[in-house]
Amino acid sequence: MVIVRCIGPDEFFLERVVFPFELLSFLAPPESIVQIWTHSLGGAELRESIAVEDLCVDLSGLESTPEPAAPASMAESVGMALDWQQAS
């Protein structure tokens, strides 16, 4: 199990627990930072800090379904999928 935190501009913050073999995908503003945290005997430990641009997934080839309009602050969001095993 790891904790994924995404911290971005304009007070954007996302935190999720990701279990083994689970995939996490989300939208985040450009220039955000993704942090991977684990637990050790000494407490929480930052394992890796990754720029959101390095995790982007090209969603243009996927068939899209209509979704509700995103807030204006997320209009230029980037999509990403994170496999926690690749990050550790």
Q: Where are the domains of the chain?
A: 2-56+76-87
- Quote the pLDDT of residue 80: 52
In order of 1, 8, 31, 73, the CA distances from 19 in angstroms are: 4, 23, 26, 29
Residues ≥6 apart with Cβ < 8 Å to 45: 37, 38, 39
State the amino acid at position 55 in one-letter form.
Answer: L
Structure confidence at residue 75 (pLDDT): 44
Q: What's the whole-model pTM score? A: 0.65
* Residues 15-67 pLDDT 10s: 999 999 998 889 999 899 999 999 889 898 999 999 998 988 776 666 655 55
Instruction: State the pLDDT at residue 15.
Output: 96
* Cα–Cα distance for residue pair 10/75, rounded to 1 Å: 13
